[in-house]
Structure 1
């Protein structure tokens, strides 16, 4: 007899449900959300052929931890699982969700997803933290600029040394404004120091990564783009074709078809938004700043002539994703035609 299990995961506890091939529940329990406790609970029942749980914040840790305990675990697409679970029961409880996931494991009606390695998630955490800090820096600078404008002072570009000097000069002799300016400037200095520390770590990681150094041979692709793309792809072999990376990153047109309705819209914007943005910026650099004769650039400029520059950037970003994946898979450098 074959057995299947479903795990409904939360931060503190996980509901476990094991069913047989006919869908009969043979074991149910509630354990702490740790790989060791879940594996121990599953061992109390019969050996399962497949264990299913949904994507979420704890998915990487649980997946890799359960794999280390020799549990045949599969992480499934959360949006698809949500729609399927709604049709299985009228009452949404953690226990019912675990039982519904067990039935999905039994029937095979699920879409498995690739769980990135923990080192890839660590790199992504570094990139996300940098993006958040840069956003905070911009917010602080805009606040400083807004306070100065009230008193008729227009500050220069925020990254120039004169920005802070004029901001402090404009607040001299005004008690409330002076304290506010010093507080905001101190917070900005702390944020800039944190960004500089992250940039140093990124530079060190890129220097040690052969894959990132190869990707940076493409004109317009810098350290951040190369590192973010390598972390997003993680394992190049999981894509059967290099052109599958475009849909994975949301760089292909969205389409809706139903009967006589057949609509093709803008890009789907699925996947990692940060990587998609970095590829778009790399395409823009190649189109506007690169002076080397490149057939890839000429191809994108031809698209711009018959359509728009924006569509040319998107098409070039998609082509860059395909080329970068092929370079990671084959271990080659960029060869301009």
Structure 2
């Protein structure tokens, strides 16, 4: 058996599939491993290139295998799929991963540290808590409206409803109804406290790193976006340019070109949804501020003169993504554009 130089590793919860080839590309290793045997098996192998699909637990296993001296590459699952020859099983997937990781044009995913994964978990939990707050608020409004009590839109309206629920002297709500609404109100209070604590931790994580503090100098980039960028993009060098980062986020036009004719549509929306959402929200805030206070940024003034606000917001979000990549790659600070 030849020496294994490249391995495709198909991850799962308890059973893992390994496919290895030698320097000539001949298959020399096909094996199934249990979770307990994983690290023991790779510790006996000489250092080699290991390809893994970027999926659940992939960053953890990548760090473990790198500690054993192996060169580990993570790849998006959609880029591995074309290399599956036929059928769908663990062995075929591992073989496809082994083939894909050797392609010179393959795009790889940066391996995150535990700190970066922890910061990104704060953002995911924040989304869950915000959804729960919305669900509880809507439930309160709907149930109490059945008894003819409505409140204005927004958080002030919810506060008015909570005061009504807490007022035991209000005869408009039957006892059983008030008991149920008290349960929802108690959950809503807990969720609000958790959101505040989560936001404090996100702001602290954004200010902890030097790159996070520099990114917050860009108009439209606040602590939330700066923390998410630092946690999501562990190594900016995996992108060749700022346009590649903008394309990964999904802020570049969709192409349907053929026969030398270039056809561009709306943005692809094929990348990181959370970062795209945060960039566009920040860009809208910058545009609203510019409209009220007469922005001195010539590029933005000219853009707003010929484009609608939403189109301009996407263009500004694209520009901010490119500036973020440049600042992360070069270590520079934000410089406000000067009027010619």
Q: What is the TM-score of this pair, normalised by structure 1?
A: 0.87
242 and 183 in structure 1: CA distance in 2 versus 1, 3 angstrom threshold: same
Deviation at 1:239, TM superposition (A): 2.9
CA distance in 1, matches of 2:96, 2:244: 31
Q: CA deviation at 1:302?
A: 2.4
Alignment of 1:152-301 (within 5 A): 152-160=148-156, 161-169=159-167, 173-259=173-259, 263-290=263-290, 294-296=295-297, 298-301=298-301
Find the aligned partners of 2:107 and 2:210 in 1 and give their Cα distance.
Answer: 33
Query: Does 2:140 correspond to 1:133?
Result: no
* Displacement of 1:172: 5.1
For residue 22 of structure 2, the aligned residue among 17, 20, 23 is: 20
For each residue in 1:260-297, what CA deviation from the matched residue of structure 2 results, as whole angstroms up to 9, or x when unmatched? 8754221111322111111111111111125666554x
Pick closer, same or farther for the CA change 1:244–1:92 going to 2, 3 Å: closer
Task: Tell me the distance in 1 between the aligned counterparts of 2:214 and 2:26.
Answer: 53
Deviates more, 1:252-261 or 1:178-187: 252-261
Provide the secondary structure at the position in 2 that maps to 1:100: helix
* Aligned counterparts of 1:250 and 1:173: Cα–Cα separation in 2: 49
Please report how far the alpha carbon of residue 176 of structure 1 lies from its aligned counterpart in structure 2 after TM superposition.
3.2
- Residue 60 (structure 1) aligns with: 59
Alignment of 1:284-323 (within 5 A): 284-290=284-290, 294-296=295-297, 298-323=298-323
Structure 2 CA distance for partners of 1:311 and 1:2, relative to 1, 3 Å: farther
- 2:110 and 2:233 in contact (8 A); partners too: no
CA contact (8 A) 1:202 1:223 kept: yes
Q: Distance in 1 between matches of 2:42 and 2:212?
A: 41
| Cα root mean square deviation, aligned | 2.6
Unaligned runs of 5+ residues in structure 1 are none
Over 3 Å counting, the alpha-carbon distance change for 1:24 and 1:206 in structure 2 is closer
Q: Please give the alpha-carbon distance, in whole angstroms, between the structure 2 residues aligned to 1:244 and 1:62.
A: 27
Name structure 2 gaps, 5 residues minimum. none
Give 1:135 shift. Answer: 1.3
Matches of 1:164 and 1:68, distance apart in 2: 54
8 Å Cα contact 1:17-1:98 kept in structure 2: yes
Once the two structures are superposed, residues 13-49 of structure 1 have per-residue CA deviations (whole angstroms, 9 ceiling, x without a partner) of: 1111222345443222222347xx434324556x464
Q: Distance in 2 between matches of 1:162 and 1:177?
A: 17
Q: What SS does structure 1 have at the residue aligned with 2:256?
A: strand
Query: Alignment length, in residue pairs?
Result: 330
What CA deviation, in whole Å up to 9, does each residue of 1:41-76 have, x standing for no partner? Answer: 24556x464222212111111111111111122222
Secondary structure of the corresponding residue to residue 5 of structure 1: strand
Of 108, 113, 116, 2:112 maps to 116
For 1:195-229, what per-residue CA distance to the aligned partner results, in whole angstroms no more than 9, with x for missing partners? 11111212322332222222222333321122112
- Please give the alpha-carbon distance, in whole angstroms, between the structure 2 residues aligned to 1:235 and 1:207: 19
